[in-house]
Amino acid sequence: MHMSSSHLKSAVALIFTLLGEASATQTARGVDAHGFKENEIASKQGGHVAGSASNELQAKTGRAGSTKVNYKTIA
């Protein structure tokens, strides 16, 4: 199966999003987080895990997984 470049980048962006969510969930469960502040900390840590993985992939491949085409900002 062959994916176009834009579809592959979207798939990679989705993978890192899922990694961030899974990391945040595991972190929150690991510290038994309750309330907004504790879950906010766990979410930021999950985002850091996904960001680090994304940066490492980009450094190894020379290609960005997230681009202006597949990344949306919060309005």
Q: Domain ranges in the chain?
A: 5-61
What tokens appear for 17 in the block? 């999003």
> Tokens 């989705």 correspond to what residue?
14
Q: What is the pLDDT of residues 9-49, one digit of tens each?
A: 778 888 999 999 999 999 999 999 999 999 999 999 999 99
pLDDT (tens digit, 9 = 90+) per residue, 46-71?
Answer: 999 999 998 999 899 887 655 666 56
pTM greater than 0.75 (yes/no)? no
- What is the identity of the amino acid at 24? A
pLDDT for the residue 56: 92
Which residue in this structure is represented by tokens 């469960």?
29
What pLDDT is stored for residue 38 in this prediction? 95
Task: Report the 3 state secondary structure along the chain.
Answer: CCCCHHHHHHHHHHHHHHHHHHHHHHHHHHCCCCHHHHHHHHHHHHHHHHHHHHHHHHHHHCCCCCCCCCCCCCC
